[in-house]
Amino acid sequence: MDLVPRGVDVKKIMSTRMILEIAQEIEPLDVILDKYDVSVEELAVIQNDAQFISALSEMRQFWHSDLNTLERIRLKASVMTEDFLEVLADIANDPAQPAPARLQAITLASKLGGAGDKSDNGSAQNITINIEV
């Protein structure tokens, strides 16, 4: 007798990356499941599996350990920054915004995207944008 119903892809459900994302609790569970194309029903099948429970427990211990604090902060800041990119785009594209605010939004988005100044390689680039008001 099979413990897992036919048609359920256990390898997909037991994805280490997905289990880590569930343990991190940065995004809602439904978003994580959509990302890995796992249905709620498929997850329900595996939630009582000893191997899944053990892997999730280990990931939670790792994620919440004192040794992982800096990485947790970096990842959460990255997710937050990505969420605010749409706000920057709205500001940059809004003609009702003052020119300095639009320019600052463009500059910050460029920097976040890697197109800004790169002080670590010693070469500087100047970008001039003329906005007629």
Q: Where are the domains of the chain?
A: 10-64, 78-121
Residue 32, burial from CB neighbour count under 10 angstroms (0-12, 13-18, 19+): buried
Give the pLDDT score at 11.
64
Q: CA–CA separation, 60 vs 24, rounded Å?
A: 7
Q: Do residues 14 and 46 touch, judged by C-beta distance below 8 A?
A: yes
* pTM of the model as a whole: 0.53
Distance of CA 32 to the CA centre of its chain: 10
Number of H helices, E strands in the chain: 7, 0
For the segment 30-42, the average pLDDT, to the nearest whole number, is 89
What's the pLDDT tens digit per position in 13-29?
A: 678 888 889 998 888 99
Identify the band that residue 113 occupies on the pLDDT scale cut at 50, 70 and 90: confident
Give the pLDDT score at 102.
92
Q: CA–CA separation, 31 vs 125, rounded Å?
A: 39
How confident is the prediction for the chain on average, in pLDDT? 81
What's the pLDDT tens digit per position in 80-108?
A: 788 788 889 999 999 999 999 999 999 99
